[in-house]
Amino acid sequence: MKRLFAIAVLLAGAAAPAASFAQDMGRPVFGAGRGDQEQAREGVRSGRQVPLSRVLSAIAARNGGRHLNTMQGDAGGRPAYFVQWQLENGRVVVFVVDAESGQIIGRQGG
């Protein structure tokens, strides 16, 4: 029970910087918006975006840890994935990934 509480406190503490970062990148809050999944699927189908599974695999290979949440938005006028990730040390990071190339273009936290 204490461990669960500690994890909840940790995630709550990390959410504020992640939300602030998302606001700075043109998104109002952290979390999937309506239509994000369908927009991503259409982008992948049309070849305009890399699949999220490829992005998550690349992040896992470089950083270890686990995927927590993803939203799609805009970063500097380009479509982007905002990937909330928990590192092996327990810290939470938000990776900003260019949705067209799959390249990590920013990182907040951790």
Tens of pLDDT along the chain (110 residues) come to 445 444 544 455 544 444 444 444 544 444 445 566 676 677 667 668 999 999 999 999 999 999 999 999 999 999 999 999 999 999 999 999 999 999 999 999 87
Rounded to whole angstroms, how far apart are CA atoms 3 and 27? 32
pLDDT of residue 18: 47
Query: Which pLDDT score is estimated for 45?
Result: 74
Backbone φ and ψ of 35, nearest 5°: 85, -5
40-51 burial, b at 16+ Cβ within 10 Å, e below that, comes to beebbeeeebbe
Distance of alpha carbon 39 from alpha carbon 79, whole angstroms:
10
Q: What is the pTM of this model?
A: 0.64
Beta strand ranges found along 1-110 (DSSP E): 66-75, 78-86, 92-98, 104-109
Domains and CATH numbers, the chain: 2-109 (3.10.450.40)
